[in-house]
Amino acid sequence: MKIAKPILLVSTPIGVIGGLHEAWRLAGGLVVIMAMMVILMAVAVIGLVRVARSEQRVVRAAGKASHAGS
């Protein structure tokens, strides 16, 4: 896992850029649709991360409050 994570972090954006380049080469308008899809997925992941972090903060705060009250 030590090596896999950096490889994925580097190769995924390169693959997306390569895919967008090929879409532009094959069908110019297709790249617009693909870019919109990539942006939509990025917004969804960002939203998911924000919700998970806020819920984690609530759980930690509740745990500290219950632990301090004991």
Instruction: Write out pLDDT tens, residues 4-47.
Output: 889 998 999 999 999 999 989 998 888 999 899 999 999 999 99
pLDDT at position 29: 87
pLDDT for res 70: 60
pTM score over 0.75: no
**Residue 46 burial class via C-beta count within 10 angstroms: exposed 0-12, middle 13-18, buried 19 and up:** exposed
Count of structural domains, the chain = 1
Range of the domain at 32: 4-69
CA dist 42 and 36 (Å) reads 10
pLDDT value of position 2: 85
Residues 6+ apart with CB under 8 A from 16: 38
Residue 53 pLDDT more than 80? yes
Residue 63 confidence (pLDDT): 84
